[in-house]
Amino acid sequence: MMRPLIQPASATDAFPFSSAFEAEMMLGKQHPLRPYFEKVIAKERLTQDDALAIYHSTDLLAIGLLGDVARKVRATQGHENSVWWVHNYHINPTNICEDTCTFCSFKKGEQSPHAYFWPIQKVIDDIHAYEGNETLREFHIVAGHYKKANLAYYAEMFKALRKAFPWVNIKGLTAAEIDYIAKIEGITWEETLKVLIDSGLQALPGGGAEVFSPRVRALVCPDKISGETWCDIHGLAHKMGLKTNATMLAGLGETPEERVQHMIALREQQDKTGGFLSFIPLNCYYEKNKADAQHALTGFENLKNFAVSRLVLDNFPHIKAFWIHMGEKISQVGLHFGVDDVDGTVIQEKIAHAAGTQTAQGLTVRQLVHLIRQAGKTPVERDAFYNVVKVWDETAQAELAPAVVLNKAYH
Ligand code: SF4
């Protein structure tokens, strides 16, 4: 009998996508990371010890392949090669904050000449002035903890946004802000969320999580809600029908163990209430704040955070590279380390820029689509809930490309 010219390869039969085949080739039976590859393929949950063993490996390409395999194993069918992004616009209506986070360069005291608190009409007018507003899909709204930015203020803002821009999703207020507003109003988190939801709130961002470790929080944000409280508020939001997101701000002197514990706490919360859409690993910046720059993350660590979070958070649909923090280049490489989302156009970010990030104030659609395509991925434009707006495959031209309109009031 004639031998077939091409023998079916057992590895490709077992793993119907290339990164698993590459991992099979690279992670031979003797490779120290091989057991985690086997677990990912078998869809078994990784333990804290597993995650730490991956963290402590210096075989970065093998770690990236593990993250990439996990991303493809967990992707929605048909989206194994997709990278999601949203045409979004950031609104930071006040930089006045009563809190004392050492890593924050955004906050100002009420008497500072640089303090601001925007009337709602200014928020609306600025968006009207942004020439790409007709194709926006998401408002990302976070600000300082300021008594005048109270429940009535945000309720009125959300109503005004829904009325003026009904095609744009409202993702607003971190768990720390929800807690602050509830406290100044003397009501419960549930009552606070109910008013905000009735006014148009649709999702929560992931901020305020920082690192859940009580040791680190006592050093860098002693007045902020605890990690448990942060998770409780997100759990409540999920039960009330909101989708939410989660961050981890690394570079505060936390250990790899504390990072993994942060991820496992999120995984446990997701097991209970299931409303998280994405996890966003962030790195700290150190200009004009009191955080210790000796803890600054390296490119290796940022890429490890992408891969390890994709591996640990097996119940999170998406891992996001927030290119504003990570830089466009590390974010792009991250697309092969388990990341499947690059956030979006981010018109126009202030908080990380206040602390020294050198990235642009916003990317055009053309730039984002180019960044994703150059990584060999298919850009998929989404709304805040990962509904597909448009698949930017080779036939789709990035002609949309609205110019980035910077806020004159800020500059
Ligand atoms: S990080 Fe947020 S809560 Fe902390 S000081 Fe800055 S604005 Fe305030």
Please give the structure tokens belonging to residue 350. Answer: 């202030």
Q: Is 97 in the pocket of ligand 1 (CB under 6 A)?
A: yes
Mutate to test the pocket of ligand 1, among 99, 247, 325 (most ligand atoms within 8 A of CB): 99
| Predicted TM-score (pTM) of this structure | 0.92
Atom of ligand 1 nearest to the CA of 177: 3
Q: Is 320 in the pocket of ligand 1 (CB under 6 A)?
A: no
Which residues make beta-bridge pairs with 276? 244
Tell whether domain 82-391 is in CATH 3.40.50.1820.
no
Measure CA of the first residue to CA of the last residue in the chain; give whole Å.
77
Higher pLDDT residue, 11 or 313?
Answer: 313
What ranges do the domains of the chain cover? 10-74, 82-391
pLDDT of residue 9: 40
Q: How far is the CA of 149 from the centre of ligand 1 (A)?
A: 14
Q: Is 204 in the pocket of ligand 1 (CB under 6 A)?
A: no
Cβ pair 45, 270 in contact under 8 A: no
Could you report the per-residue pLDDT of 1-51, keeping only the tens digit for each?
343 333 334 444 455 567 777 777 788 888 999 999 999 999 999 999 999
Q: How far is the CA of 387 from the centre of ligand 1 (A)?
A: 31
Q: Whose CA is nearest to atom 7 of ligand 1?
A: 144
Element (H, E) at 281: strand 276-283
pLDDT > 90 in the chain, percent? 78
Which of 273, 266, 280, 269 has the alpha carbon at shortest distance from 241? 273
Cβ pair 68, 365 in contact under 8 A: no
Quick one: angle between helices 60-74 and 34-41, nearest 10? 10
Q: What is the mean pLDDT of residues 162-180?
A: 98
Q: Whose CA is nearest to atom 6 of ligand 1?
A: 104
Q: How far is the CA of 16 from the centre of ligand 1 (A)?
A: 46
Q: Is 297 in the pocket of ligand 1 (CB under 6 A)?
A: no
Atom of ligand 1 nearest to the CA of 224: 3
CB contact burial 371-404 (16+ within 10 A = b; e otherwise): bbbebebbbbbbbbebeeeeebeeeeeeebbbeb
Q: Is 108 in the pocket of ligand 1 (CB under 6 A)?
A: no
Q: How far is the CA of 224 from the centre of ligand 1 (A)?
A: 9
Q: What is the mean pLDDT of residues 357-361?
A: 75
Could you report the per-residue pLDDT of 258-287, keeping only the tens digit for each?
999 999 999 999 999 999 999 999 999 999
Q: How far is the CA of 119 from the centre of ligand 1 (A)?
A: 20
23 Cβ contact list (under 8 Å, min separation 6)? 15, 37, 62, 65, 66, 68, 69
Lowest mean pLDDT among 117-131, 136-150, 264-278, 357-371: 357-371
Please give the structure tokens belonging to residue 41. Answer: 């393929």
Mutate to test the pocket of ligand 1, among 90, 96, 97 (most ligand atoms within 8 A of CB): 97
Q: Is the pLDDT of residue 407 over 70?
A: no
Q: Is 175 in the pocket of ligand 1 (CB under 6 A)?
A: no
Q: Is 104 in the pocket of ligand 1 (CB under 6 A)?
A: yes
Could you report the per-residue pLDDT of 44-81, keeping only the tens digit for each?
999 999 999 999 999 999 999 999 999 999 898 899 99
Please give the structure tokens belonging to residue 231. Answer: 């998770």
Q: Is 106 in the pocket of ligand 1 (CB under 6 A)?
A: yes
Q: Is 402 in the pocket of ligand 1 (CB under 6 A)?
A: no
